[in-house]
Amino acid sequence: MLVQALNSHPQIVCFRELFNGRHDFVDFSVEGYDNFSARDRARREEDPIAFLEERIFHAWPPDVSAVGFKFLYGQTWDYPGLVDHLRGDTNLYVLHLQRRNVLRTLTSLKLAKQTDIWFEDRQAPPKLTRTNLMRALRYPPAVVRTARRWVQRRNLPMQSPARVAISANELFESIVAMRMRIDHYDASFAEHAKMSIYYEDLVERREETLAAAQEFLGVEPRELTTTLQRQNPEPLRDLIENYDELRAAFAGTPEAALFDD
């Protein structure tokens, strides 16, 4: 959602997960770039830093003021030296996207793995583009699931949400791991211009949050657009099979605030 919104600004180019560890494509998802370019895939694997400088942070037209990409915590392992390079470039601005409710994060992750739906566009069906066509040829089951989900959302009564089970240990470990990751990357990029953005604010106060992001990036403020919608807005009780058991395990602790009731 944040990537799409930033890309709607004429002065911003924001790539998606360039270093997602997939060896069959590069997730540019920006006009003029081929996600399935063999040359780009080879260059990224051979020298990710050179790939970044040559294909992303090269000279852009004067009307482009900010260029960046989405980078997840876990995408450091496949590209040794990349994080050190990013850390050393203090000219980079960092938008640190977080979520306050770790239980929501874990629930969403487990649901996405179960349904293979990682984001949802309720405004339009999948477009017939070269990238989407190539994806359909390479991963037909995933595309069929996406199309079916879109049809259900648009034309049929709302379906019952998928449900997952979460153990107390699983949630505890996720809380600890998330805190460690956030602290680690905040410390790693302490010398950079950095702004924290929270998913809850992006959903509930979108215009205000995106206006602050534009000010941080130093671009002319304008209304940004996104057709992506929040997935799984249902109460956690409707999404977690063992909700009461899990809530009871954290009763009387600060983490009790993670639950809806």
Q: What is the DSSP code string of 113-158?
A: HHH----EE-SSPPP--HHHHHHHHH-HHHHHHHHHHHHHHHHSPP
What is the C-alpha to C-alpha distance for residues 181 and 162, in angstroms, rounded to an integer? 28
**What domain count does the chain have?**
1
CATH classification at residue 65: 3.40.50
Q: Which of 76, 89, 87 minimizes the C-alpha distance to 19?
A: 76
pLDDT in tens, 186-219: 999 999 999 999 999 999 999 999 999 999 999 9
Beta strands in 201-249 (DSSP E): 228-229
- Identify the pLDDT of residue 74: 84
Quote the CA–CA distance of 139 and 133 in Å, as a whole number: 10
pLDDT band of 157, cuts 50, 70, 90: very low
Residue 233 or residue 53, greater confidence: 53
Nearest to 240 by CA among 161, 151, 165: 165
Side chain identity at residue 217, one-letter code: L
Distances (CA, A) of 54 to 50, 58, 59, 169, 253: 6, 5, 9, 44, 50
Residue-range definition of the domain harbouring residue 7: 2-258
In this predicted structure, the answer to whether residue 101 has a pLDDT above a threshold of 90 is yes
pLDDT given for residue 260 in this prediction: 82
* Maximum C-alpha span of the chain: 57
- Average pLDDT score over residue span 114-125: 62
| pLDDT category of residue 15 using cuts at 50, 70 and 90 | very high
170 touches 116 (CB < 8 A)? no
Give the model confidence (pLDDT) of 221-246 as tens digits. 999 998 887 777 899 999 999 999 99
Q: Does residue 144 surpass a pLDDT of 60?
A: no
pLDDT over threshold 90, residue 172? yes
182-188: long-range contacts (C-beta < 8 A, 24 or more apart)?
Answer: 182/96, 182/98, 185/73, 185/96, 186/96, 188/83, 188/87
- Residue 147 confidence (pLDDT): 55
Q: Which of 16-25, 139-148, 159-168 has the highest mean pLDDT?
A: 16-25
- Compute the mean pLDDT over every residue in the chain, rounded to the nearest whole number: 86
CB 199 within 8 A of CB 97: yes
CB-based contacts of 35-39 (< 8 A; 24+ apart in sequence): 35/131, 35/134, 36/131, 36/134
